[in-house]
Amino acid sequence: MNVDGKPTRTIWPAADGQSVEIIDQTKLPHRFEIATLRNVDDAAHAIKAMLVRGAPLIGATAAYGLWLAMRGDPSDAGLTKAYDQLFATRPTAVNLRWALDRGRATLAPLAPAERADRALSLAVEICDEDVGINHAIGQAALAVIQEIAATKTNGAPVNILTHCNAGWLATVDWGTATSPIYQAHDAGIPVHVWVDETRPRNQGFNLTAWELLNHGVPHTVIVDNAGGHLMQHGQVDVVFVGTDRTTADGDVCNKIGTYLKALAAHDNDVPFYVCLPSPTIDWTVHDGVKEIPIEERDADEVTHISGLDAAGNVSSIQIPPTGSPAANPAFDVTPARYVTGLVTERGICEANAAGLKELFPENGQ
């Protein structure tokens, strides 16, 4: 996608051939800054502190983290240490484990002297694969938008509601839930996006709105609790969200608040689609509510909020009274029964074991 008219990805090898550059997403939307990762500690910090976020991008960053680690210590002990360090950064997004497992399986049989070069080529492969997967997801879900658009009159737009950021900032490029939106917009189909603020880190306001604004997609930002009201009044045609982990039976783990959007969509007969690259499917898990670990993040994300002050400076302020404790579960699980369809790079399927197995017979249990 474009930033100020320039094609940009979220992560790339630096020109010095020794480091990795990323968009520091903690600075958006008010500042666009590039951060440099020079070693595996930098990569682990970028994932944990959410300079990068979104399951696919976390996996890509972990792959580059293995390369940075192998540049410093390509021994078996170095590989194990890097794997463990990166794996410990975020417990919920399954792409992290997927990328690390793939990296370890690829590098372990090689002689230590060969590992750094192969780790770099693998990281590039994973990133390029992610771009292709996300474009294909957009192609599959574009048919949903086209079908709804055909029912509209007088050029009325298709109204799409999103939650959190499943855009290109959550991936290497294109995004998952935003990929069909960008493709529809670029094809001249009128679309309008309702962008949830997505507390507590405000990824909707800070990231999704910034993306859509830069690409010229019509959108309106709303508070998290407005979605149900809009659905009741016929102002939402379809919901597209992403996911950090999908079970083999079709349950979906995504940013906290997704479950409530699914309930509102179900009550108002609004289609609710989850857009996911296949590496996000955890074939080892079946009951998402019981089996997926939910990351509990720092209470400061709930008690404090940042934004531009009157002088144009980015400042952080405290919202609740001092001394009030805060809980911060970062994700929730939407049971498969509330999901209209799972949108993958191989097409759309029902959110159940049979649907996933039909698209991915090599993995379906």
Note if 244 is an active site residue: yes
Amino acid at the residue 235: Q
- Please name the residue that has the structure tokens 């770099």: 120
Q: Which of 244, 249, 251, 282 is catalytic?
A: 244
Contact assessment for residue 330 and residue 296, using Cβ atoms and an 8 Å cutoff: yes
Q: Which residues of 189-202 are buried (b: 16+ CB within 10 A; e: fewer)?
A: bebbbbbbbbbbbb
Contact assessment for residue 61 and residue 46, using Cβ atoms and an 8 Å cutoff: yes
Side-chain half-sphere CA neighbours of 112 within 13 A: 12
What is the rounded CA–CA span in Å between residue 326 and residue 315? 21
First to last CA, the chain: 36
Query: Helices (H) and strands (E) in the chain — how many of each?
Result: 13, 18
The burial of 334, by beta-carbon neighbours within 10 Å (0-12 exposed, 13-18 middle, 19 or more buried), is given as: buried
Alpha helices in the chain (DSSP H): 40-48, 55-72, 76-87, 94-107, 112-149, 179-186, 203, 209-215, 227-232, 258-267, 288-291, 300-303, 353-359
Q: Active-site residue numbers?
A: 244
